[in-house]
Amino acid sequence: MTHEDHRASTPRGRARRDQLVRIGLDLLAEGGWAAITARAVADRARIRPGLLHHYFNGLPGLHVAVAQRASETIIDPVVDALVAAPDTAAALRTLRELVPGMIAGERDLRLAAELLVRALRDPRMAAERRDWSRAVRGRIAARLEQLCPDWAAERREGTAMLFTAMLDGLMLQLILDPDLPADPALHATEALVSDP
Mean pLDDT by 10 residues, the chain (196 residues): 52 92 96 95 93 90 94 88 88 82 80 89 91 93 92 93 85 81 77 64
Instruction: Name, in order, each residue with C-beta under 8 angstroms of 37's C-beta and a sequence gap of 6 or more.
Output: 59
Residue 91 pLDDT: 83
Residue 8 pLDDT: 63
Residue 62 pLDDT: 95
Cα 192 to Cα 196: distance, rounded to the nearest angstrom: 9
Residue 60 pLDDT: 92
Residue 4 pLDDT: 42
Cα 73 to Cα 111: distance, rounded to the nearest angstrom: 10
Query: For the whole model, what pTM was predicted?
Result: 0.80
Cα 119 to Cα 11: distance, rounded to the nearest angstrom: 31
In total, the chain counts a number of residues equal to 196
Give the CATH number of domain 3-63: 1.10.10.60
Kindly list the distances between the CA atom of residue 49 and the CA atoms of 13, 15, 18, 186, in Å, as whole numbers in the listed order. Answer: 15, 17, 16, 46
Residue 15 pLDDT: 93
Residue 64 pLDDT: 93
To the nearest 10 degrees (0 to 180), the angle between helices 11-31 and 59-74 is 80
Residue 194 pLDDT: 66
Residue 196 pLDDT: 53
Cα 152 to Cα 158: distance, rounded to the nearest angstrom: 10
Residue 66 pLDDT: 96
Q: Residue ranges of the domains in the chain?
A: 3-63, 75-193
